[in-house]
Amino acid sequence: MTLLLPASDGTLRAHTPNPAPRVFPPGPPPVSRTVLAAAHVVADPRADPAGPPAVDWEATLAFRRHLWSYGLGVAEAMDTAQRGMGLDWPTAAELIRRSAAEAKAVGGELVCGVGTDQLPDPPARRAPDPARRGRHALDAVRRAYAEQLALVEEAGARPVLMASRALAAAARGPEDYLAVYGELLRQSATPVVLHWLGPMFDPALQGYWGSADPDRATDTLLELIAAHPGRVDGVKISLLDAEREREVRRRLPAGVRCYTGDDFHYPELIAGDSEGFSHALLGVLDPLAPVAADALRALDAGDTAGFRERLDPTVPLARHLFAPPTRYYKTGVVLLAWLAGHQRHFTLVGGLQSARSLPHLARAYTLADGLGLLPDPELAQARMRALLTVYGVDA
């Protein structure tokens, strides 16, 4: 049956659902790349969106088992899980503990985000005088990081040192980043993944690493890594700038991995070039896990062309999900999890399901359906029709 879906120009356009979804069998982890899917959390739809975050733990952990079944690792408690956008630190800590226990039970790879979100968010607008910056003293930022690092290590997971709004507000220059991160690297019991998250994902991170000049910021990041040999497993680059990522990748010391966080250019960056390739830590792998696993099997077999043939067609969907304001990509990710049958409802922590327009959601549905990513087309169609009804659209 055809659906009439709203377009951004105000018209309704007919869409006939794909009757033949693709079948992607589960399988072991890839061997040619380390691939981590940043996973969303399933909210409790009965909770007050203005109250403390409430998570449906059973559905949330079931989704992680889905990712592990396709051989992907899980990046837990990252921005895809709404860190800093509805998920507070106590809930994130519980998520880390539960996911770590689940990972041990199934033998799944797990990394977990380490941040400073115990601290209140700094003011949205920074004071123009650098001497007045720093609502949170650097020592407080360091202690917040250290508390989370200890919890992740105690859980048995590999830490990802996430970008910190509090550090961005408190730091007066590159030397403060070097001092805070240096202490954390010395403290960590295992090599960590550093995370450079661009302001398109979080405007409060403008000028991270002590400069708005990306060349100077890159130099500071590389100086940090060089000063602590053996302490950094890799760097996740989330700037949506493929050439910047390639530059960082080329300049990394031997043994330090580049994890692409570029949800616009991931096929070419993972495939690589004559000077190297990127591993992956991506939010877009949340909805793309089955097709990504299939593509990685081709890459493992040395079939780079086959890898690109499988993964390149997913890029329009990724670019749509991560369209500006990019930080609201979680809404589309959860929509697709609902349409694919991984959860019973389309609700996000903090009511974030309202962050995207109905035409945006409708386009996400048609793109995913066209790729054959919705395993039960009739279920997806029925749920999309119900959503349209809620919005007053007669489909």
Q: How far is the C-alpha of 366 from the C-alpha of 26, rounded, in Å?
A: 24
- Length, in residues, of the chain: 395
pLDDT in tens, the chain (395 residues): 899 999 999 999 999 999 889 999 999 999 999 999 999 999 999 999 999 999 999 999 999 999 999 999 999 999 999 999 999 999 999 999 999 999 999 999 999 999 999 999 887 544 434 444 556 799 999 999 999 999 999 999 999 999 999 999 999 999 999 999 999 999 999 999 999 999 999 999 999 999 999 999 999 999 999 999 999 999 999 999 999 999 999 999 999 999 999 999 999 999 999 999 999 999 999 999 999 999 999 999 999 999 999 999 999 999 999 999 999 999 999 999 999 999 999 999 999 999 999 999 999 999 999 999 999 999 999 999 999 999 999 86
Do the bridges between strand 279-282 and strand 257-260 make them parallel or antiparallel, or are there none, so unpaired?
A: parallel
Angle between helix 285-300 and 304-311 (nearest 10): 160
Partners of 192 in beta bridges: 232
* Burial class for 209, CB neighbours closer than 10 Å (0-12, 13-18, 19+): buried
pLDDT of residue 394: 85
The first and second tokens of residue 90, run together, are 């106590």
Answer yes or no: are the C-beta atoms of 252 and 223 closer than 8 Å. no
pLDDT of residue 133: 56
Mean residue pLDDT across the chain: 95
pTM of the model: 0.95
Positions of E strands within 19-141 = 35-38, 73-76, 110-114
pLDDT of residue 257: 98
Cα–chain center distance at 204:
17
pLDDT of residue 1: 81
Angle (CA) 321 32 264, round 5°: 20
The first and second tokens of residue 236, run together, are 């996740």
pLDDT of residue 125: 45
The first and second tokens of residue 233, run together, are 């497993």
pLDDT of residue 128: 39
Phi, psi of 13 (to 5 degrees): -125, 140
Cα–chain center distance at 370:
23
* Burial class for 229, CB neighbours closer than 10 Å (0-12, 13-18, 19+): exposed
Helix (H) or strand (E) holding 14: strand 12-15
DSSP 350: G
Tell me which residue of 327, 384, 337 sits closest to 361, measured CA to CA. Answer: 384
DSSP 273: B
